[in-house]
Structures are given as C-alpha cells and as structure tokens.
Structure 1
Amino acid sequence: MSELPVVVIGAGPQGLAAAAHLTERGVDAVVVERGGSAGAAVSEWGHVRLFSGWPELTDAAARRLLEPTGWTAPASGYPTGAEWVSEYLSPLADALGDRVLYGTTVTGVARQGRDKVVASGRKAQPFVVHTVDQDGRDGRILASSVIDATGTWSLPNPAGADGYPAVGETAASERISYRIPDDVFELAGSHVVVVGAGHSATHAVLRLSELARREPGTKVTWLLRRGSATNVFGGGTGDELPERAALGSRARKVIEAGVVEVVTGFRVAEFQQDGDTLTILAENGQEISGVTRVFALTGFRPDTSILREVRIELDGSLDAVAGIASEIDPNIHSCGSVGATGARQLAQPEKDLFIVGAKSYGRAPTFLALTGYEQVRSVAAHLAGDHEAADRNELVLPDTGVCGGAGGFDAEGSSCCATPSVLQIGSRPVTVG
C-alpha cells in the first residue's frame, strides 16, 4: 500500500492544506472535489466577510508551496469568502496541479474486499474510494489512507428546536432559507425572521437591519432558543479577534436602537402557512405571525453516509470525532479555549482514516480555520512517519472572551466574563452580558 496515494476528500481550506503538507513531506496525495473549483462551498457564502484576519486564514505549508510561484500572503485585512477563494484557495489548488480532481463526487469509502463487518485481514487491505464523475460514470480510487475534509456545509440544521424539521417546515420550504442572505432588497417592507444565535445568524440580522433602517415597514425579528441573549454579543473587549468582537457589538447596537426585535426562549415547533405569510409557533405557545421570509441559521451537522462501510467512532452528543469531543464541547469551551486536536486525538478505529476540519467538530460551532490547519499538519506528519512532529502542539488560538462557551440553556444570564445587565429592547427587558 505504500505506493498508493493518500486520498483527501474535499478541496476546501483544510483539504488543500492537507495536500500541501503531504506534498511537502513527499507523500503522494490526491484531492477529490465534487465542485468545479477549489473552495466550492466557501464560494456559496462568498458575500460574507470573515471575522478571522488573513494571518489566521492561510496554512504554513500552503504558503511555502505558493511562495515560489510569486504568490504573496496577504498581510492584513478581513477577506470575504470570495476573496479567500480567489486570493488563496484557488492559487493553492493551482499550485497542487493535477493532484486535485474536480467534478468528482465521493459516494463511499471502504476497505478493498471488506465491508464494515469483516475483520479478517482488514488492516492489510487498501482503502477504496468510490466516486461518480460529472457524466455519471462510476470510479474507484485505491488509497493507502483517507482524509475526510468535506465539512458540514451541505447539511444545515433545521429550524425545529428538537433537531428535526418543525411541523410544516418542509411544506414551507419556499419561504425558509438556511443560508446567510446576500441581496435582501426584495424583502423591503416585509416581516423577516432570523432563527439562531451564532455568527451566521448575527451576520444575517445585521444585513437585514440595514434594510430595515433604509426601508420603512421592514420588520426584523430575531428568535433565540435560549432564555437569554447573553452570549449573542460575544466576548467584547475580551475577544482577541477584533472583527468577531465588532460583530457582537454591532448586533447589540441595532437591538438597543430598536431596529431588531429579539424574542428569547423561542423554540420553534410549527410553521403555519396563511396565504403569502407564515405564522411560527413555539413549544411554549408563543407565536410570531405575518412572516414573509425565515432565515434558519441554527448550525450544521456532519454527513457521514460516505463512511458507512468503515469503522468510525463519533461522540454521541456532538457527532464529533470521539477523541476530541471533550475538548470542543460548546457547553464548556469557546473557540479559543480548546486544546490541540491532532492525529492522536483524531484517530479512528479504522486505521489511517481521519476526519478533519469542521466535520471533525460535528455539531459544535466553535471551529476555527487555525484549528483545522493544525489538525492536518499533525495528520500529515503521522502519515509520513514523523510521530514526534505529529504529537507536537503548534496551535495558538485567539481567545473569544466568552469563558463558558454556550452557557446555560435556560439561564437568564450565565456568562462568567461580565456582570449581566438589562437592556430595554422595545417594551421587553432582555438580560445581556
């Protein structure tokens, strides 16, 4: 098997970085990407500006591969997703050349001649990566190892509070989007609802608040499942990523100004259609009516269907790689408080199979690009036989300032970083940190 390549699934930031590290170590790598270009998933949210600056968005081995081509690493600034692709991911994929296969969808990963049940001789068999190309033709790639860097973008969580689509959610799909909006002008004068408490939801609220300021009659309602808005505003001055802090600060201001209405403790149970509008019902009987459009931005979950014939171990709560789950639990940790998660922690029962990047975090929303780059650096070192480098921790993360991660689900104020205060938002007092 030593003559077979390492197959990397996904030509996103972590997949391409993995290939760069493997290439630098003299290990043959093949990157399989279902899209027609590098960073295809990133391109789908290309209009969104990242809160990580350029120094946190490029990988060390990737920079070393790119610099001989005349490429210069952007020194400062906060790119949009589209700029991340055009100024870094696309040049990196070009530098990797024919190691990247586009328009190729992975449909499954297995051991040659062995399904999941068969144990005899399993480790001695190469991996078989099953694929389908753009013309529908089946293919197989033999691999010594597999790195799954496919992310979670393709499987957004529903609006329903219990993890399943709410009653009527599927039927109302034409009025519900699971992506951050770009051009919102068509929503002028309507009632728009955002569901979710993370950075994606905050981005959407801010974009819609600009529309509400310009266009009279536009109403923006922000539904939060938790009983408090405490952690929506981030770590403030305690956040070592200034743009992430600014995101929360801007959200606080539009709420204080009454541009956006916040409803806490709202766990979506049902969508009812009434002509061209929706009524949203909560588990506790609250309801929001006259809604034209809903943006359900409640996070993502991993799709592990391509791994059903190999042996993997995921955490029962987070769907994250079991070996890192305790380090990334959002009930305990923020983005900056996790420890290193390298090859040793990412190892699966199926030898030489690794899940990296956002997919390794499962449903945990605390993933940062820097974490993924450290993961693939360690995994590449392990596959190259450099176990000292694989075990080394080179991860330095910027702290979020939100000490307790997600905080108490029903708490009225649970941040350990600041004394809660009360803001008057319209006629409703809301506790914030």
Structure 2
Amino acid sequence: MSDVLDQSALEANAQRLVEAAKRAGADAADAVAVRGIALSVTVRLGKVEESERSEGDDFGLRVFVGRRHATVSANAFSDPDALAQRAVAMARVSPEDRYAGLADERLLATAFPDLDLLDPSTPDAATLTARALAAEDAARAVPGVTNSGGASASWSLGGLVLVTSHGFRGAYLGSRHSLSTTAVAGEGTGMQRDWEASSKIYGADLLDPETIGRNAGHRAVARLAPRQMPTTTVPVVWEPRAATSLVGHLLSAVNGSSIARKTSFLRHDLGKPVFAPGVSIVDDPFRPRGLGSRPFDGEGIVGDPIELVSDGVLTSWLLDSATARELDLTTNGRASRGTGSPHPGSTNVTLRAGRVSRDDMIRSIRSGLYVTDMIGSGVNGVTGDYSRGASGFWIENGELTHAVSEITVAGNLKDMYRRLVPADDLEYRFGINAPTVMIEGMTLAGR
C-alpha cells in the first residue's frame, strides 16, 4: 500500500510534462496526474452479483501559446515530448481566448492544511461483501419487505498531483468508503422501493450496515398504498436528503460559468437578498474528513471557506481563474478538475440549520406535503421555473398521515428561496448538506 500512497513518481512525471511543453514552444503549461483505485462488491438476495476492482493513473497537460490553449489527456506515461508536441500543435490552431491562462502566481498556495482525508485502513473484498450482506439482510428482515434491490459496498482512493510552469507543485490523496442498499416492499403493481446509503472518508464513520438496512426497509414499507392528491396550494416540507436538491439548484445558478454565459436566473442578484434573513449557505473546502475537502483547487489556489449566502444575501459566485477574468473578478479557488481544463465547482456545501425543530415545523401545518423523494429534472436554469415530480407523505393537522405519489411540485426558485425556512436538524452526510426545510405556498399538481 505504501507504494500507492507515494505520489513522488507522479509529481516527477507531471514536472516532465511541463518541461516538455516549454521545450515544444508553450509559453506556459500545467500538468495533472490523477490516481484512482476502487474496489466494490454488489450483492442481491444473499449472493454476490459482482466484484470489481480498477486502478490507474491518468495524466493531463494544458498548454498556452499566447492566448491560445489546448488540453490533452493520456492514461499512460511513456513519451512526454510527443504528448507536449501534440498539445502545442493543437493550441497553435485554436481560437484565441483572452481569459485563458494559469492562475495568478500571487494567489498560489504555499502551505497545505491537513484535512485528514486518508483512512489508513483498506478493506478487502471479503470485508466489503460482509458489509453489503449485513445491510441487505437487515433490510429483508423488516416486516413488509418482499424483495431486495441489492446492496453495494465500496472503497476507493483518489488523488491529484498538479505542477505548473510558474512554480506550483502540490499533491493530495483521499479515501472514501460507501455502503448502500435498496429494499422493495409490497407485491405486484403495489410494490414500492426506497434506499439508504452512507459515504465517509473513514470506514469507521459509516453508518453501521444494520442501520442502513433497517432504514431502507422501513422507508420502503412506509411508502406502500400511496394516494394521489388533488391539485392545490399548500406548504411543502423537504426532508434533509431531498432538501439538498434545492441547494444543488442554487449551486448551478451561482456557478461562474453560468453567470458568464448569462444562463443563470440569479445573474443580476449578487449582493441582493435572495433568501429570507437568517439563511446562510457556506462552501468550505477545509472541513476535516469532508467528502468535498481538498487542500488546494484545480489551479493550485487555496480557496478559503466562503458564505455564498449570508443572512439571506447572495454574496459570491463560484469562480475559477478564467471565469473570474471574464467577470472582472478574482478567483475564489473553486476550480474543479480531472485531466481536462479547470471549471468552477463547489466543495463541501452546507445550508446552515435554523431554529425551529422538524417536529414543530410539521405541527404548524394544517395540510401540506412532506417530500422524501424528487423525480426528474424539471428546472429551468435561465428563468428559475421549477416543476419536479415528488413523493412522500401527506401532512394533516400537524401529523404525517398516508403516503402520496404522482404529485408535481411547482413554483419559481427565486420565490421559493425567499420563503425557505430551515429546521434545526442538520447532519453532515453528503457533499451537499441541508436540514429539513419548509416553503409555503407551493403549487401541487395532482389528480
């Protein structure tokens, strides 16, 4: 395992690519090396269906000739000069891009925080199989569960090496353990399914397999005998894992690329109230053991934590260097990258908890919808129009009553965000995290 963790050879090869690019005539260049190792096991009905392992190192070289640039990728490192010559030849016939270029040298990271991203324990296939079987067994043991959609356990190791021609050199590695299962309840056309999953940097931080299985089973059984509801306007409550989708739509709208292309419904709202007072959304690449944590971004910049929304006010876009230049701003270290060119992205995003409890939120509703699952992708990023299929439970006189399905929740995200109220039940489970949220005055299209 120690040879896998040693990235010195990858760094040396990335450095050779940059030097080869300069020899080939590039004015500037950067090279990335991406290490990936993954092991996964899938089981169903008590038997292993698939066991898979993959590993490899991929390389990418980006070169600049004046304001022209090109990127080439390779999954083997053999002839850096040939790869560099191809890249430079491509760049010379590419159109000029006045915003292209390496990150500002003054912004490059010089020290990297320790984010505890590498679990020293490495599970083998037998360990992963035992986890998956235990989760599926627990799901199938729930009364009312009639079948299994299977269970999957995986471990992966991924990292990034970045070397630039203007002096940056950095590398990091991170591990990830995941476990999920899907349970099926009911028979025939009345069957319902649901799932539970856990993903963590450290295997010891995973939800235990029995909890994952039981949660999946109980969720599937609770969805049996759903009813359709009439078209109406009511408050809608999103459970935490469904509420993350609302944050995801915001991240698309504040992505610097969307702003530069003028394809975001929030492009005129920087510095303006977008949410209700008290609502805050933070992007933090430095959370220890965070699924989206990283010591530097895809251009070598340490992006400090930022509040995208502060007390309801939209305060920042997600920017890499190119989009920042196009918008006459400074990058905030949100460049994401594989072996291709950088693009703006997020890290660990959190809609911070509010003050009201989930139970009090539900008790305050006479009639409404509690959403547990969203279907489809009916969101217009240009206008903010929102129309998505949903299922969950009907709220009657402050209590969850029966399951509902085949309902469409509709509105406009700008209006929805202004009415969004977060509860106090925030948990850190995903790359995007949110508590339960409520939005009043939503249109439900039913039967």
TM over 0.5: no
Higher relative contact order (CA 8 A, sep 6+): 1
For the pair shown, the structure with the greater C-alpha radius of gyration is 2
Higher strand residue share: 2
Which of the five TM-score ranges fits, normalised by the shorter chain?
under 0.3
Higher helix residue share: 1
- TM-score, normalised by the number of residues in structure 2: 0.25
